[in-house]
C-alpha cells in the first residue's frame, strides 16, 4: 500500500518522504521491522519509540512516522503518533469495524462475563460473533490468544478484518480504560456501549477515581446507544457525560430504570429473577452464582434489547449460558470441601466473590489471594481488610509480582489485616499456599483462590512462568 493511502485523513505537520512510496507493513516495534516497512514511533507507558528510530532505519524501514525527528530522517511528523497509528491501522485494513455491528463493554468488573453472555445470546439468534476480551479473543468458535484486555490499535484493526472476512456480523469487546485513553479504539463506532460499574482499580495509571471514571465515559462519545448500570454511584455522572441516548438497568426493583430485576433468588449453582422492560416481564435463570451475576445478566440483556432482540428470547438464551473460566469456577475434586477459582483482583471483586460464597458455604470460607506487582499499591491493604472481614481464614500469597519483591507486596496487604478477627497466614509461594489451604480444609468448607482466574502463568521480572491453579490442585492429590 502506498504511503499516501495509509496517511489518508491524518493531519501531517511535516514530511520528508515521497508519499508515493510503497510500504510493506506498518510496525511500531523496532525489533520486528523489515526492509520497506513504515515504523511508527509511539510514546509508551514504559519506553519511548522515538529512541528506536535509528534501529528501525538500520533494519531497512522506508519511512518513520513520529512526533519529532532529527535532520536527514525520512520522517512524517504528526502531533500524536499513537492516535495516528490507530488511523493508519484503519486505513491499512479498510476500516473493517464498519462491516461489523460493534458492541463495547466497559467497567471495573463484569466485562468478561457480560461479553461472553452477549456472544452466546447473539449466537443463539443465529449470528456469527467475534469476541475480544481478557480471557481470549474469538472469531466465532476459533480461539485467538490475547496478551491484554484490548489489543493495540494495529492488532485490533487486523482482528476486526479477520472477523469480518470470516463472516462475523457482530463483534462484542471489552473496552478497557487504558484502551480509551491510549487511542486503541480510536475511530471505532459502537452500535451499543455498556457500563457495568466503577470501583477502585488502575490508580497507578489514572491517579484518581474521577480520572478513571472519565476514561470509562469516553466510550459514550463513540456509540449510538448506551447501556448504564443505574445502581452504580457514578451512574448520574456517566449519563450526564454521555453523548448518546441511554438505556438504564437496575437490580433494585424500586429504581426508575428502563430494565429492572425483582424476585431475585441466589442459589449455589446460579441466580433466578424476573426482568421487567417496557411493560413486559420475563423469568430469567443464569447458571452462574452470585448477586453480581444478576448485574451481568442485566447488562447483557440491556445490550441485546438495544439491538432489538426480544426479551423472552434473551431470557431463553441466558438459561443455556455457561460460566466463564476463572470466574466463580468450581475445580472438580473428589473431596467433601469445594474449591473455587475467581479472577477477583480488586477490592470490589474480592468483596463480591466472598459474599457470594458466604451465601452457600456450609463450612468456613478460606481465602487465598495476593496482589499484582507494578500496579495500584493503594488497593493492597483494602483487599486485605475486606478478605479478613468476609472470610473465616485468610492465606496471603503471591500473585503476579512482576518486578516487585513478592514479600514486600504481601507485607502491604497485611497492613490492612492487623485487626483481623480470623486467622491470617502469609505463604509467599502460591502453590504451597494453595496446598496449605487444602491441608486445613474441612467438610463443607469453600476455598476461594482469588486473583489469577483464567491465567495459567505467574509473571516474575518480565518472564511468564507456567502456573495453572487447576494443575496445582490436582498435584496435591499426587503427593
Shared domain check, 64 and 131: no
Residue 471: inside a domain, yes or no?
Answer: yes
The grid coordinates of residue 473 equal 490442585
> Of 89, 60, 92, 88, which is closest to residue 76 (Cα–Cα)?
88
Q: What is the pLDDT of residue 380?
A: 97
Higher-pLDDT residue of 452 and 148 is 452
- CATH number for the domain that contains residue 239: 3.40.1190.10
pLDDT in tens, 208-226: 888 888 889 999 999 999 9
List Cβ<8 Å contacts ≥24 apart for 2-10.
3/38, 3/62, 3/63, 3/76, 5/91, 6/38, 6/88, 6/91, 6/92, 7/76, 7/88, 7/91, 8/91, 9/87, 9/91, 10/78, 10/84, 10/87, 10/88, 10/91
Q: What is the pLDDT of residue 325?
A: 86
- CATH number for the domain that contains residue 15: 3.40.1390.10
Residue 10: inside a domain, yes or no?
Answer: yes
Q: Choose one of 318, 346, 374: the last residue of a domain.
A: 318
pLDDT in tens, 291-344: 889 999 999 999 999 999 999 999 999 999 988 888 888 898 999 999 999 999
The grid coordinates of residue 419 equal 485487626
pLDDT in tens, 132-176: 998 789 999 999 877 665 678 999 999 999 999 999 999 999 998
Are 271 and 315 in contact, with CB atoms under 8 Å apart? no
Shared domain check, 249 and 187: yes
pTM of the model: 0.83
Residue 295: inside a domain, yes or no?
Answer: yes
Q: How many domains does the chain have?
A: 3
Shared domain check, 314 and 197: yes
Q: What is the pLDDT of residue 106?
A: 94
Q: What is the pLDDT of residue 149?
A: 58
Q: What is the pLDDT of residue 450?
A: 98
- CATH number for the domain that contains residue 458: 3.90.190.20
Would you say residue 26 has pLDDT above 90?
A: yes
Q: Choose one of 92, 114, 143: the last residue of a domain.
A: 92
Q: What is the pLDDT of residue 207?
A: 67
Residue 398: other Cβ atoms inside 10 A: 27
Q: What is the pLDDT of residue 50?
A: 95
The Cα–Cα gap between 386 and 245 comes to 37
Least confident of 37-41, 242-246, 265-269, 468-472: 265-269
Q: What separation in angstroms does the CA of 2 have from each of 24, 84, 87, 159, 226?
A: 9, 16, 15, 22, 38
3-19 average pLDDT score: 95
Shared domain check, 59 and 119: no
The grid coordinates of residue 306 equal 438495544
pLDDT in tens, 427-446: 999 999 999 999 999 999 99
The grid coordinates of residue 280 equal 413486559
Residue 50: inside a domain, yes or no?
Answer: yes
Residue 75 is part of which domain span? Answer: 3-92
Shared domain check, 362 and 314: no
Q: What is the pLDDT of residue 162?
A: 97
Residue 196: inside a domain, yes or no?
Answer: yes
Burial category of 240 from C-beta neighbours within 10 Å (exposed 0-12, middle 13-18, buried 19 and up):
exposed
69-78 average pLDDT score: 92
Shared domain check, 275 and 367: no
Residue 323: inside a domain, yes or no?
Answer: no
Shared domain check, 372 and 294: no
Higher-pLDDT residue of 204 and 373 is 373
Would you say residue 206 has pLDDT above 50?
A: no
Shared domain check, 59 and 168: no
Give percent of the chain above pLDDT 90: 81
Residue 155: inside a domain, yes or no?
Answer: yes
Mean of all residue pLDDT scores within the chain: 93
Q: Choose one of 92, 125, 156: the last residue of a domain.
A: 92
Shared domain check, 248 and 144: yes
Shared domain check, 334 and 217: no
Q: What is the pLDDT of residue 265?
A: 92
Q: What is the pLDDT of residue 438?
A: 98
Residue 324: inside a domain, yes or no?
Answer: no
Shared domain check, 154 and 30: no
pLDDT in tens, 90-132: 999 999 999 999 999 999 888 999 999 999 999 999 999 999 9
Shared domain check, 357 and 274: no
Give percent of the chain above pLDDT 70: 97
Least confident of 40-49, 77-86, 385-394: 40-49
Would you say residue 350 has pLDDT above 90?
A: yes
Would you say residue 64 has pLDDT above 60?
A: yes
Amino acid at each position: 500500500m502506498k504511503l499516501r493511502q495509509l496517511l489518508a485523513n491524518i493531519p501531517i505537520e511535516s514530511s520528508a518522504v515521497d508519499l508515493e512510496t510503497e510500504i510493506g507493513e506498518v510496525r511500531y516495534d523496532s525489533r520486528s521491522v523489515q526492509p520497506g516497512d513504515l515504523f511508527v514511533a509511539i510514546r509508551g507507558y514504559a519506553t519511548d519509540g522515538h529512541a528506536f528510530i535509528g534501529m528501525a532505519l538500520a533494519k531497512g524501514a522506508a519511512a518513520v512516522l513520529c512526533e519529532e525527528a532529527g535532520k536527514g530522517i525520512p520522517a512524517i511528523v504528526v502531533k500524536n503518533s499513537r492516535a495516528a497509528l490507530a488511523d493508519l491501522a484503519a486505513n491499512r485494513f479498510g476500516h473493517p469495524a464498519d462491516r461489523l455491528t460493534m458492541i463495547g463493554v466497559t467497567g471495573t468488573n463484569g466485562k468478561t462475563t457480560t461479553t461472553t453472555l452477549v456472544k452466546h445470546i447473539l449466537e443463539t439468534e443465529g449470528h456469527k460473533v467475534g469476541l475480544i476480551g481478557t480471557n481470549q479473543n474469538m472469531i466465532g468458535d476459533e480461539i485467538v490468544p490475547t496478551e491484554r484486555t484490548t489489543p493495540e490499535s494495529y492488532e485490533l484493526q487486523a482482528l476486526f478484518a479477520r472477523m469480518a472476512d470470516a463472516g462475523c456480523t457482530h463483534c462484542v469487546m471489552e473496552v478497557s480504560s487504558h484502551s480509551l485513553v491510549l487511542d486503541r479504539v480510536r475511530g471505532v463506532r459502537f452500535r451499543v456501549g455498556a457500563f457495568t460499574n466503577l470501583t477502585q482499580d488502575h490508580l497507578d495509571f489514572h491517579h484518581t477515581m474521577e480520572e478513571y471514571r472519565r476514561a470509562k465515559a469516553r466510550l459514550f462519545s463513540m456509540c449510538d446507544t448506551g447501556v448504564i448500570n443505574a445502581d452504580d454511584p457514578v451512574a448520574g455522572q456517566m449519563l450526564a457525560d454521555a453523548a448518546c441516548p441511554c438505556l438504564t438497568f437496575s437490580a433494585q426493583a424500586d429504581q426508575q430504570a428502563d430494565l429492572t430485576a425483582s424476585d431475585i433468588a441466589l442459589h449455589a449453582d446460579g441466580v433466578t429473577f424476573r426482568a421487567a422492560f417496557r411493560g413486559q416481564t420475563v423469568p430469567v435463570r443464569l447458571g452462574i452464582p452470585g448477586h453480581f451475576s444478576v448485574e451481568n445478566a442485566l447488562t447483557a440483556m440491556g445490550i441485546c434489547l438495544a439491538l432489538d432482540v426480544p426479551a423472552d428470547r434473551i431470557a431463553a438464551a441466558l438459561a443455556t449460558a455457561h460460566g466463564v473460566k476463572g470466574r466463580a469456577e468450581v475445580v472438580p475434586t473428589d473431596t467433601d470441601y469445594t474449591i473455587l477459582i475467581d479472577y477477583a483482583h480488586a477490592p470490589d471483586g474480592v468483596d463480591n466473590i466472598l459474599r457470594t460464597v458466604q451465601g452457600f458455604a456450609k463450612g468456613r470460607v478460606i481465602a487465598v489471594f495476593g496482589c499484582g506487582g507494578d500496579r495500584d499499591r493503594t488497593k493492597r491493604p483494602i483487599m486485605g481488610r475486606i478478605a479478613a472481614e468476609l472470610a473465616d481464614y485468610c492465606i496471603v500469597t503471591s500473585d503476579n509480582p512482576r518486578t516487585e519483591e513478592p514479600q514486600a507486596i504481601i507485607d502491604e496487604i497485611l497492613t490492612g489485616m492487623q485487626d483481623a478477627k480470623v486467622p491470617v497466614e502469609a505463604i509467599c509461594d502460591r502453590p504451597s499456599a494453595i496446598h496449605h489451604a487444602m491441608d486445613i480444609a474441612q467438610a463443607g468448607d469453600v476455598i476461594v483462590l482469588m486473583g489469577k482466574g483464567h491465567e495459567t502463568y505467574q509473571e516474575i521480572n518480565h518472564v511468564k512462568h507456567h502456573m495453572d491453579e487447576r494443575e496445582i490442585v490436582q498435584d496435591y492429590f499426587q503427593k
